[in-house]
Every structure is written in structure tokens, then in C-alpha cells.
């Protein structure tokens, strides 16, 4: 288990003691676990060993109150910028009646019995599930701890517990004014019989939940004390950087390292079946050594793969493959009326997190330590055990803060690579990928090919709808047992099979088209809904245009009965002023509406498209109903960040293949929006008493369709392929020549990199 300090110190020296050290000092530990979907709270005395050595208890997180009054939470999920450490700490602190400033948090070690995410079926952070599954469990844990502490005080004073109140970790006997802080009660509370179910606060009494709170990790990010994977240092470690075969499934043939070994600071050249690494005294030596290698690759069966062939194969599969029906209502093939059909193509996408892939490993004959920032720490332990051949109990994973995840760090293959290199040396090595390697060797968001059609009645309303998605399944490789009995990957059709619209005849289906062997696919922020909402909401706009109706008015006509959908639609359009003004030429306003991850969102985007085809975002308005809000600041930040992430992909991002290799190399040709390109973003939260929905990904889900619908409104050009081809938006051929000249690469930047309007 690691704390938020550098790992070179012993537990006794840490300002935030580990679970082991806290148990030595004495105190109260409360654990909780899921049994058949119910939450059970367990009280443990000071002699109890919790964790891998005590399998009787299988909680997902631990509340710890020390004799010094400290309150700690071992976080069941990881922090990668989405604010979950703050949200989880707020849930605990609310029911425990302590201030957020009194909570300290620790990363959880790998242990599926203790920290399983029941919504994902593994010890994993993703799918916008954290608050959704912790909402009750963490509050139960805090309430149970408070119950036991209050009862310990009442027993000491020989009074009725109902006469006691708590504020900031201090129990007060109201009639006499006597007080006892939690620290003085911890040992006695550990002996109190835990409740079967401690009462939870009425939401009207919340002091923290629902209030805008500063994040618990803010100060550490400001003063640099927060430790990310890339920051970790251990005594005697060396730095390595790596290059793998550029083609999917290729292998290392030979390496001439004679020049590399002569570079000062270069220590070793290490090889595995598909990659080579150079170890140096420092990163620059390793990087120079890597660049000096003369490498011959066996490029394998994918050496001639191209983007064009890639999409041609998907189009063929879409036409001739056997579909798996996800949902069918009525008889969509028999409907009569005007038929509208379209085809959409979405590209491969890389994650391109701010922190490139890295892992520090120390492999010894009898043990292996790994320092890494991962969304799947248990899977990291699994692969380290597999590569080393050591038993699982000999593997220690020290998880750190993640400098961005977006789904990339749901995959542990880079840890396996680092351990394979680490086996070849007798000292710790930190394997750091270059940005170029990070993009060239990603687990890519699958590309998709969609055919979608609708039949309209005389009033322009859809009476039939068919949607066929073609693409690869991430779930099939990540967790095959989770696939549906009919072979369906439910993620592939989320927000495509269940629409917010009332359509009497509907069929949603998927044609599985696996990518070439050796090509890793992975979830990307927003997973299936990001792709499906882009297609569905763009097509709804097409139907509105075909019916000659305003896009908002059309959506209102065809909406289903869910009032939460209508609520966000009405709020967003009101705040955006939809229909209340005439926009200037080449300006447009676009909308997207959906209910991903248990939340409801409507996003409206204003754009200007210059005669040269340059897209400028002017304003964005989002209405979100995510149920009960834990921290409004987090909701606002995640919607804003998610929108920018999605717009970046729509405008600039796409992985292309040439001769079996990825063409993109760095942020110059796989770039993100810049500050001057980002519009003002308003986030309006609908007050709700419903259970929490997910919030980390919905902004990204909504971004693309709202943007492309706005571009259509501005130009009349319907964009069905991403990233956006700005040449399609040029007003005339003369302007096209102008834009080609004006947007020639500047310092390696691609076209549309500058705001020329």
C-alpha cells in the first residue's frame, strides 16, 4: 500500500500512516462489502489483520479512525483527474460528521476481494461508475463508524446515545456539554457491536454533499507534492525507454547496438520478442541510445495494412456479415413512407494522455515491485506474476496518481513489457515511453462503420428506424465472459438500442468485425455512447431537415415519456436562447440530446465557419441531470473537460495507417484544442433527488454531434466522417486555395490548427 508521499520512507515516517501502521497504533477500522447486492458493515477490533492475509473479510474500502483522531479512507477507485477522491471522501465525511479537511486518502492495493467494482466486475475504475456504486456503500461505512464512535462515548458517560451529537469528529453530550474527540474513542469504538444498518442522514441535513468543494488533491498539485507514476524515484533505479515494432503483430528481427553502447550514460540494451529498450543513467542517455540503434523488424502479416483497406473491410462486413440483434421492436422492415438512409465512419482514436505510459519495476528472484498509475491495479499484479513466474503474493503494486486515463490505463500490457525488461537486470528500472511510442503503440478506440435509416410518415415523424453498427469489440478481449449469450457486446449499442425517442418500429444491431491480429483495441472516454450518440443525434438532425422542421421542435415532437430527457432539453434551449435570434451568415447552432451512463444531457454549440472552412466554436451550453450531485464543481469541470476532449477528436484527431504502421507521431499531428480555440462553456445542473448517474464521460459523448450539427446549420454541409475535413466547408474554390495556403503547417501543426476567421 502506498501513501501520497515518495515510497522510499518507512510507514512509521509517513504523515499519512498506512493501514498496517494505523493498526499498530490502535483505533477503529470499519470495512464494508457487498453480499448479494446488500451492504453489510463490519466492526473490527485492533487485533484483526485486514487484507490479503485475512480473507474472511472482503470489503471494497476501509474507514480508519486512529487514536490521534486521523480519519483515513483507502480509495476503492483511482484518481486520474476526474475528482473521485474528493467525491468519495465527501460521502464518507458526510455520514461520519467530519470535515473534508480532516480526511486523508490512500490508494488501494490490488485485491479484488476488498475493492471489487460490482458494476464492472473487477477492481477497475472506468465507465463513469465510481459515485454510482459508492453512493450508498461509502455512506453506510461512514454512518456505521459514527454509530460505533457515538455509542462508545455514550457507554463511557453512561447516557443514551440519542442525547449525543457530533461535529467535526467531536462527540458532545448535549445535556452536560461533555465532549470527546474521535481519537480518544477509537479503541473503545472498535469493541462496539456494529449495526446491521446504521441510519443515514436525510438529504436535507447534508453539510457536504451537494456543496461546491475544493478537491482534496488540489494543494498537492499546486505544490508538487502529489506523486504520479512518472514522478516515482527509488534508490538505485535506472531509466529505460523503448521502441516496439511499428506494425501490429510484428517482431524484432535484429539490432545493431554498437553505436548506442558508446554513448555516455548508456548502460544496457535489452530485447524482447517485439521491442527493444535502452537503459541509461538518465532519460536523455536512454533516449539518445535508442535513437542510435539500427533495428530490423519483421513486419509480419499487417505490413501492407492501410486506412483505406481498413474501412473497405468494415464496409464489406457491414453489407455481408451476420448481425447480432441488440433490440427489435415492431416490424421496422415493413413500414411505409419516405426513407432516409446514411452511412457514418468514425476513425481509430488514441488516448494521448498527458502522462505518457510508464512503469517502474524491480524484479528479484523472490519478489517483484511495480510502481505505476493504473485503472486496473489487480490486472497489473496478474501480468507481473505471469511474466515473472512468481506467486501472486510475491507481487507488490504501488499505485500512484494517474496523469490522465481516458480508458488507456485499463490495459496492463505496458506493465508486462516493463517487467519483461526488468527481469534482465538486477536493479530497478523505470520504463518510460516517448510520446511517439505512446501514440504508435496505443490500445486504440475501434473505428466504426454505421448504416442507419428511418422511414418517415406524412408529418415527417419516424415510424421505423434501423441502425447497424460494424466494428470490433473491446469487451471480447478484455473480459470475454461478460459478452452476452448471443455474442453481443452491450457497450457497442449503448445509446443506440435505447433511444430517448418514441419510435414504434426499431431495430438496433451489430456486426462484429475483429481487427487484424496484433492490433490492440481499447475503450476511449465515453466508450460506446461516444460513437453512438454522434451517429444517432446527427441522423436525427438529418430527419429534422428532411421533414423541414427546426431540430429542437422536431426532437420535442418525437420524444418519449421520460420527463428527465425533456427537462434537460428545455433547460438547455432556454439558456442558449434557441430560436430567439437570427444568427449571422456562416454561423450555426447545433444540439445533441442523450442519456448516457445513467445521466441526462443536452448540449448546444454555437460555431462560426469562415469562408476558408475554419471552424471556430463561440459558445456552448450544457444542461445535465445526473441525479443527486455530490460535488457541483466536479460536475461542471467534467462536462467542460469532456466537451473539449470530444471536440478535439472531432476537429483534429484520427489515427491513420500506412504500410501497417500508425502515421501520427505527436501532438503536432494528433492534437488537442488550444486555449484560444475553446469557447465559453456554461453548465446548468438540474436539481434532482434521483440516484447519482455517471459524469466523467457524458460530456465527451455529447460533444461531436452537437458540433457537427452546428456546422451543418452554418454551412449546409452534413459531416458523416470524422475528423472534420475542413475542405468540405470552404465556401468556394478560390477560398479553398486560400485556406490551403493560409493553413500550411506552422511548426509542424496541421491544417485548421489556427483560428483564421
Per-position DSSP letters for 255-286, written without gaps between them: EE-HHHHTSTTEEEEEEETTEEEEEESSHHHH
**pLDDT for position 65:** 85
**pLDDT for position 479:** 92
- Pick the last residue of a domain from 432, 463, 489: 432
> Hey, is 607 helix, strand or coil?
strand
In angstroms, the Cα distances linking 72 to 106, 134, 291, 362, 471 are 7, 16, 46, 29, 44
Q: How many structural domains comprise the chain?
A: 3
For cell 428506424, name the residue: 465
Among 502, 506, 635, 491, CA closest to 566:
502
- Does residue 344 form part of some domain? no
Q: pLDDT-based confidence at 19, cuts 50/70/90?
A: very low
- Does residue 506 form part of some domain? yes
Same domain, 139 and 274: no
Q: pLDDT tens for residues 556-581?
A: 999 999 999 999 999 999 999 999 99
Q: pLDDT-based confidence at 23, cuts 50/70/90?
A: very low
Q: pLDDT tens for residues 156-173?
A: 999 999 999 999 999 999
Same domain, 146 and 294: no
- Pick the last residue of a domain from 373, 407, 432: 432
**pLDDT for position 111:** 86
Same domain, 527 and 507: yes
d(CA 386, CA 373): 19
Same domain, 196 and 138: yes
Same domain, 167 and 294: no
**pLDDT for position 738:** 55
Query: Pairing relation of β-strands 505-512 and 324-329?
Result: antiparallel
| Higher pLDDT pick, 3 / 303 | 303
**pLDDT for position 737:** 55
pTM to 2 decimal places? 0.89
Same domain, 68 and 167: yes
- Does residue 416 form part of some domain? yes
Average pLDDT of the chain is 89
d(CA 742, CA 744): 6
Q: In this model, does residue 30 exceed pLDDT 80?
A: no
% helix, strand, coil for the chain, step of 5: 35, 25, 40
Strand runs (DSSP E) across 283-322, as ranges?
294-298
Same domain, 124 and 237: no
Angle at 376 between CA 371 and CA 379, to 5 degrees: 85
**pLDDT for position 21:** 42
Same domain, 46 and 121: yes
Q: pLDDT-based confidence at 116, cuts 50/70/90?
A: confident
d(CA 685, CA 18): 38
| Higher pLDDT pick, 479 / 50 | 479
Contact indicator for 74, 62 with CB cutoff of 8 Å: yes
Domain carrying residue 95 = 11-220
d(CA 643, CA 721): 19
- Does residue 329 form part of some domain? no
Same domain, 399 and 496: no
Q: 20-34, 272-286, 593-607: which has the minimum mean pLDDT?
A: 20-34
Same domain, 235 and 296: yes
Contact indicator for 295, 244 with CB cutoff of 8 Å: no
- Does residue 441 form part of some domain? no
Q: pLDDT tens for residues 629-675?
A: 999 999 999 999 999 999 999 999 999 999 999 999 999 999 999 99
- Does residue 352 form part of some domain? no
Contact indicator for 722, 311 with CB cutoff of 8 Å: no
Alpha carbon of residue 750 to chain centroid: 27
Contact indicator for 361, 369 with CB cutoff of 8 Å: yes
Q: pLDDT tens for residues 168-217?
A: 999 999 999 999 999 999 889 888 888 888 999 999 999 999 999 999 99
Can you give the CATH number for the domain in which 674 is found? 3.30.365.10
269 CB-near residues (< 8 Å, 6+ apart): 255, 257, 260, 261, 276, 277, 278, 279, 289, 293
**pLDDT for position 733:** 58
Query: Pairing relation of β-strands 681-685 and 615-625?
Result: parallel
Angle at 739 between CA 665 and CA 658, to 5 degrees: 30
- Pick the last residue of a domain from 166, 185, 220: 220
**pLDDT for position 711:** 98
- Does residue 331 form part of some domain? no
- Does residue 321 form part of some domain? no
Query: Pairing relation of β-strands 429-432 and 358-363?
Result: antiparallel
Same domain, 428 and 471: no
Per-position DSSP letters for 546-583, written without gaps between them: HHT--HHHHHHHHB-S-HHHHHHHHHHHHHHTTTSSPP
Amino acid at each position: 500500500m502506498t501513501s501520497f508521499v515518495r515510497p522510499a520512507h518507512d510507514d512509521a515516517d509517513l504523515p499519512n500512516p498506512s493501514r498496517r501502521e494505523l493498526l499498530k497504533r490502535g483505533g477503529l477500522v470499519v470495512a464494508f462489502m457487498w453480499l448479494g447486492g446488500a451492504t453489510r458493515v463490519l466492526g473490527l477490533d485492533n487485533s484483526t489483520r485486514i487484507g490479503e492475509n485475512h480473507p474472511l473479510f472482503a470489503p471494497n474500502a476501509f474507514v480508519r479512525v486512529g487514536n490521534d483522531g486521523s480519519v483515513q479512507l483507502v480509495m476503492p477507485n483511482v484518481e486520474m483527474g476526474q475528482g473521485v477522491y474528493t467525491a468519495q471522501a465527501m460521502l464518507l465525511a458526510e455520514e461520519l460528521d467530519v470535515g473534508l479537511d480532516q480526511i486523508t486518502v490512500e490508494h488501494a492495493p490490488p485485491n479484488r476481494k476488498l475493492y471489487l467494482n460490482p458494476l464492472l466486475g473487477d477492481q477497475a475504475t472506468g465507465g463513469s461508475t465510481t459515485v454510482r456504486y459508492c453512493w450508498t456503500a461509502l455512506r453506510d461505512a461512514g454512518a456505521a463508524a459514527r454509530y460505533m464512535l457515538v455509542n462508545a462515548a455514550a457507554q463511557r458517560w453512561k447516557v443514551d446515545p440519542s442525547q449525543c451529537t457530533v461535529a467535526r469528529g467531536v462527540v458532545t453530550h448535549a445535556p452536560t456539554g461533555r465532549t470527546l474527540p474521535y481519537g480518544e474513542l477509537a479503541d473503545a469504538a472498535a469493541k462496539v457491536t456494529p449495526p446491521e444498518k446504521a441510519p443515514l442522514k436525510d438529504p436535507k441535513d447534508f453539510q457536504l454533499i451537494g456543496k461546491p468543494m475544493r478537491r482534496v488533491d488540489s494543494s498537492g498539485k499546486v505544490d508538487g507534492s502529489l506523486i504520479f507514476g512518472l514522478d516515482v524515484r527509488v534508490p538505485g533505479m535506472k531509466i529505460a525507454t523503448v521502441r516496439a515494432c511499428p506494425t501490429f503483430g510484428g517482431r524484432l528481427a535484429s539490432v545493431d547496438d554498437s553505436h548506442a553502447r558508446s554513448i555516455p550514460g548508456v548502460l544496457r540494451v535489452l530485447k524482447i520478442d517485439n521491442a527493444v529498450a535502452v537503459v541509461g543513467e538518465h532519460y536523455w542517455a536512454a533516449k539518445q541510445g535508442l535513437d542510435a540503434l539500427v533495428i530490423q523488424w519483421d513486419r509480419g502479416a499487417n505490413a501492407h495494412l492501410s486506412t483505406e483497406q481498413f474501412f473497405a473491410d468494415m464496409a464489406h462486413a457491414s453489407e455481408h456479415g451476420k448481425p447480432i440483434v441488440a433490440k427489435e421492436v415492431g416490424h421496422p422492415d415493413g413500414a411505409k413512407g419516405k426513407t432516409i438512409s446514411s452511412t457514418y465512419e468514425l476513425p481509430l482514436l488514441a488516448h494521448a494522455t498527458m502522462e505518457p505510459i510508464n512503469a517502474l519495476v524491480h524484479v528479484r528472484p523472490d519478489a517483484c515491485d511495480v510502481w505505476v498509475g493504473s485503472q486496473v491495479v489487480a490486472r497489473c499484479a496478474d501480468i507481473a506474476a505471469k511474466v515473472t513466474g512468481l506467486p501472486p503474493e510475491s507481487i507488490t503494486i504501488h499505485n500512484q496518481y494517474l496523469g490522465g486515463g481516458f480508458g488507456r490505463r485499463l490495459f496492463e500490457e505496458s506493465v508486462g513489457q516493463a517487467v519483461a525488461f526488468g527481469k534482465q537486470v538486477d536493479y530497478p528500472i523505470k520504463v518510460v515511453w516517448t510520446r511517439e511510442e505512446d501514440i504508435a503503440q496505443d490500445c486504440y478506440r475501434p473505428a466504426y462503420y454505421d448504416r442507419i435509416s428511418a422511414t418517415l410518415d406524412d408529418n415527417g415523424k419516424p415510424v421505423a428506424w434501423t441502425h447497424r453498427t460494424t466494428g470490433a469489440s473491446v469487451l471480447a478481449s478484455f473480459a470475454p465472459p461478460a459478452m452476452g449469450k448471443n455474442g453481443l457486446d452491450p457497450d457497442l449499442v449503448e445509446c443506440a438500442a435505447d433511444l430517448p425517442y418514441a419510435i414504434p418500429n426499431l431495430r438496433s444491431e451489430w456486426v462484429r468485425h475483429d481487427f487484424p491480429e496484433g492490433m490492440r483495441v481499447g475503450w476511449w472516454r465515453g466508450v460506446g455512447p461516444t460513437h453512438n450518440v454522434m451517429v444517432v443525434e446527427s441522423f436525427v438532425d438529418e430527419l429534422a431537415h428532411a421533414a423541414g422542421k427546426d431540430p429542437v421542435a422536431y426532437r420535442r415532437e418525437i420524444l418519449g415519456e421520460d420527463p428527465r430527457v425533456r427537462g434537460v432539453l428545455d433547460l438547455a434551449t432556454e439558456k442558449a436562447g434557441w430560436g430567439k435570434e437570427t444568427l449571422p451568415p456562416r454561423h450555426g447552432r447545433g444540439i445533441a440530446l442523450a442519456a448516457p451512463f445513467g445521466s441526462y444531457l443536452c448540449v448546444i454549440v454555437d460555431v462560426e465557419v469562415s469562408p476558408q472552412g475554419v471552424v471556430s466554436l463561440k459558445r456552448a451550453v450544457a444542461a445535465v441531470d445526473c441525479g443527486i450531485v455530490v460535488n457541483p464543481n466536479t460536475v461542471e469541470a467534467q462536462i467542460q473537460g469532456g466537451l473539449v476532449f470530444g471536440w478535439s477528436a472531432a476537429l483534429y484527431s484520427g489515427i491513420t495507417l500506412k504500410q501497417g504502421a500508425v502515421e501520427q507521431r505527436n501532438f503536432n499531428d494528433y492534437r488537442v484544442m488550444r486555449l484560444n480555440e475553446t469557447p465559453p462553456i456554461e453548465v446548468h445542473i438540474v436539481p434532482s433527488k434521483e440516484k447519482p448517474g455517471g459524469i466523467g464521460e457524458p460530456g465527451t459523448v455529447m460533444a461531436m454531434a452537437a458540433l457537427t450539427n452546428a456546422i451543418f446549420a452554418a454551412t449546409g454541409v452534413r459531416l458523416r466522417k470524422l475528423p472534420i475535413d475542413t475542405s468540405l466547408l470552404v465556401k468556394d474554390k478560390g477560398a479553398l486555395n486560400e485556406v490551403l495556403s493560409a493553413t500550411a503547417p506552422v511548426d509542424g501543426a496541421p491544417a485548421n490548427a489556427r483560428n483564421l476567421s
